[in-house]
A and B are shown apart, each in its own frame.
Chain A
Amino acid sequence: MQDQEEVLAFTEECEVAVTVNGQRYERRVPVRLLLSDFLRHELHLTGTHVGCEHGVCGCCTVLLNGEAVRACLMFAVQADNMFLTTIEGMAGTKSELHPIQQAFMEKHGLQCGFCTPGIIMSVHAMLHEHPDPSEEEIREGLSGNICRCTGYQNIVEAVKLAAERLRQDPQEVE
């Protein structure tokens, strides 16, 4: 209740406290700062890419409290007190890649790699909900991410491989 005064007033700058990949950050930011720009320019977590910046391409997909969302369609202040996972948090503290990343590497699920962080985050959320997805479910789950290099075939193969490995070793899915 102590900050009721501030909550009730319109303002151009706000305090924001977010936990990104397990680390807590506190910043004072302009309210119109997009979450994607906050991650990249304020926290220097540049693994989250920005493409179209209006919610079409999926490059900026991050996990907000475990759910895949577009970071370019949210303001940083809206993530106050929430938990974010970005591509930097996927491999954890271990030096090896996350099984999804490993599968993308082995199956050549990327070429230029620009879209890959967003796709990995979407796939993470998809496999959490559908641990054993059909090809149709995989394609539906990928439909919110645009890749202009691969033609998607190898991405679908990579997701199948990742799903198989994660089913065998489910602890890997946080």
Chain B
Amino acid sequence: MRKDLTGRASNGTLVLILKKEEAGKYTKAQKAAMHFSASSFGSVNQFEIGRWKNFMKPPRFQYCAPRILDDALLLLEQEGTETKILAGGQSLVPLLNMRLAAPTHLMDINRIAELNYIQPEEGYLAIGATVRQCQVERSLLIQEKHPLLIETIWHIGHMQIRNRGTVVGSLAHADPAAELPTLLSCLDGTLLLQNSTGERLLSTDAFFLGYLETALEPGEMVVEARFPWVDPRAGWAFLEFARRSGDFALVGASAVLTPAEDGSCQVARIAYAGVAGAPVRAREVEQVLEGNALNEQTLNRAAEVARAVVSADMNDIHATVEYRRVLTAELTRRVLQAAWARCRV
């Protein structure tokens, strides 16, 4: 671009300025092309002088990335209510980019090495706050001891999302259509919350309050999720229905069935995603199953009862309540059959 042909418009962008006697030398199309190149040259120039700061997608926030949990908790206590915790960022950063969330402070916990652990304990599997979903997928321990967790995670987003997204982050975000809150609810799992003065252990019923809403208090952080082990005799399955691979499910279902020696179902656990403002543990469906053989009649009754777990306000652009009820009934049938087929009697 010839510098002598450009000038600056009132908004600072470069524009084409032609002297009257020169103007006749160019066709209309040539002038348009020069205008275009002048204005794009202008914006590159702005990037170079750092003015692109004003064109960023996420809103302004203060950031810090502590390396020690105690420091993080202390900072959380000092900075009060407007601090969000950044782990994998696969839900939070889209919210920031769309400016649906505007926290004043962002605390990045990715550098806190002490929170990156997968620890088998008596009765449950403990997963620390910075463990990524792909780490769980690749863990030989979990592949062997908790395959239901792997099957569940496999339904989350895409490989690129699971490479960053964390298990605990997904729970703390509390999207009711998400897979992990549903699984944790199905297994009667718990979440360990910590602040600078102490810790508390919450059940899923106490933690998940509603759409993206949890019992987390200002200054508190979820440091660990505890997934109870599944009885080795039990059959399990996670299924969901989404319009495209990797999308959030319209409805998802997680089931664990423990067989009795006489071939009936002794203990049943079933939970749903996408049917209400929080994950739903369907005890009324479990009652239909417990003590009965899993025959066609039982499946039909379970599917019928399951229709009622869909909350009446679950109408949105993706599906109507009635459609979700149809999906829930069918998924109930399929997830129970899949789980039952894996039982070891």
Is A109 engaged at the interface, CB distance under 8 Å to the other chain?
Answer: no
Instruction: Check A41–B62 contact: CB distance below 8 A.
Output: no
Instruction: Check B90–A53 contact: CB distance below 8 A.
Output: no
Whether A77 contacts B63 in the complex (CB less than 8 A), given A34-B57, A72-B97, A125-B159, comes out as yes
Is B108 engaged at the interface, CB distance under 8 Å to the other chain?
Answer: yes
Residue in A closest to B56 when the chains form the complex, CB atoms: A32
Instruction: Check A73–B53 contact: CB distance below 8 A.
Output: no
Instruction: Check B63–A58 contact: CB distance below 8 A.
Output: no
A74 to B: closest C-beta gap in Å: 6
B42 to A: closest C-beta gap in Å: 14
**B residues in contact with A8, CB < 8 Å:** 64, 66, 71, 75
**B residues in contact with A37, CB < 8 Å:** 52, 56-57
Instruction: Check A41–B93 contact: CB distance below 8 A.
Output: no
Chain B window 45-74, contacts with chain A (Cβ cutoff 8 Å), 1 for yes, 0 for no: 001000011001111111111110001000
Instruction: Check B97–A144 contact: CB distance below 8 A.
Output: no
Is B120 engaged at the interface, CB distance under 8 Å to the other chain?
Answer: no
Instruction: Check B93–A55 contact: CB distance below 8 A.
Output: yes
CB within 8 Å of B: which of A68-82? Answer: 68-70, 72-75, 77-78
Bound CA span A74–B90, Å: 8
Is B173 engaged at the interface, CB distance under 8 Å to the other chain?
Answer: no
**B residues in contact with A75, CB < 8 Å:** 58, 63, 89, 93, 108
Instruction: Check A78–B108 contact: CB distance below 8 A.
Output: yes
Chain B CB within 10 A, most for which of A8, A68, A77: A8
**A residues in contact with B159, CB < 8 Å:** 68, 122, 125-126, 141, 144
Is B209 engaged at the interface, CB distance under 8 Å to the other chain?
Answer: no
Residue in B closest to A10 when the chains form the complex, CB atoms: B62
Instruction: Check A10–B64 contact: CB distance below 8 A.
Output: yes
Instruction: Check B67–A32 contact: CB distance below 8 A.
Output: no
Whether A34 contacts B246 in the complex (CB less than 8 A), given A67-B163, A144-B158, comes out as no
Whether A30 contacts B97 in the complex (CB less than 8 A), given A8-B64, A74-B89, A144-B159, comes out as no
CB within 8 Å of B: which of A146-172? Answer: none
Residue in B closest to A37 when the chains form the complex, CB atoms: B56
Bound CA span A37–B65, Å: 21
Bound CA span A61–B163, Å: 12
Is A140 engaged at the interface, CB distance under 8 Å to the other chain?
Answer: yes
Bound CA span A77–B58, Å: 14
Is B267 engaged at the interface, CB distance under 8 Å to the other chain?
Answer: no
B70 to A: closest C-beta gap in Å: 11
Chain A window 85-121, contacts with chain B (Cβ cutoff 8 Å), 1 for yes, 0 for no: 0000000000000000000000000000000000000
B249 to A: closest C-beta gap in Å: 15
Which of A10, A53, A140, A144 is the one whose CB lies under 8 Å from B105?
A: A10
Q: How many residues of A are counted as interface, with CB atoms below 8 angstroms from the partner's CB atoms?
A: 38
Instruction: Check A70–B246 contact: CB distance below 8 A.
Output: no
Is B140 engaged at the interface, CB distance under 8 Å to the other chain?
Answer: no
Instruction: Check A143–B63 contact: CB distance below 8 A.
Output: no
Which of B59, B64, B89, B246 is the one whose CB lies under 8 Å from A11?
A: B64
Instruction: Check A32–B246 contact: CB distance below 8 A.
Output: no
CB within 8 Å of B: which of A7-61? Answer: 7-12, 14, 30-34, 37, 41-42, 53-55, 58, 61
Is B146 engaged at the interface, CB distance under 8 Å to the other chain?
Answer: no
Residue in B closest to A34 when the chains form the complex, CB atoms: B57
**A residues in contact with B106, CB < 8 Å:** 31
Instruction: Check A14–B63 contact: CB distance below 8 A.
Output: yes
Is B81 engaged at the interface, CB distance under 8 Å to the other chain?
Answer: no
Is B110 engaged at the interface, CB distance under 8 Å to the other chain?
Answer: yes
Is B134 engaged at the interface, CB distance under 8 Å to the other chain?
Answer: yes
Is B160 engaged at the interface, CB distance under 8 Å to the other chain?
Answer: yes
**A residues in contact with B245, CB < 8 Å:** 140, 143
**B residues in contact with A42, CB < 8 Å:** 47
**B residues in contact with A122, CB < 8 Å:** 159-160
Instruction: Check A7–B94 contact: CB distance below 8 A.
Output: no
B43 to A: closest C-beta gap in Å: 10
Bound CA span A18–B8, Å: 35
Instruction: Check A70–B164 contact: CB distance below 8 A.
Output: yes
**A residues in contact with B98, CB < 8 Å:** 54
Q: List 23 A-B contacts (CB under 8 A).
A: A7-B67, A8-B64, A8-B75, A10-B62, A12-B60, A12-B63, A32-B56, A32-B61, A32-B96, A54-B93, A54-B97, A54-B98, A67-B134, A67-B163, A68-B160, A69-B160, A70-B90, A72-B93, A73-B90, A75-B108, A144-B158, A144-B159, A144-B246
7 more CB-based (< 8 A) A-B contacts, given A55-B94, A143-B245:
A11-B63, A32-B61, A64-B163, A70-B90, A77-B63, A77-B108, A144-B159
Identify the B interface with A (CB < 8 A): 47, 52-53, 56-67, 71, 75, 79, 89-90, 93-94, 96-98, 105-106, 108, 110, 134, 157-161, 163-164, 244-246
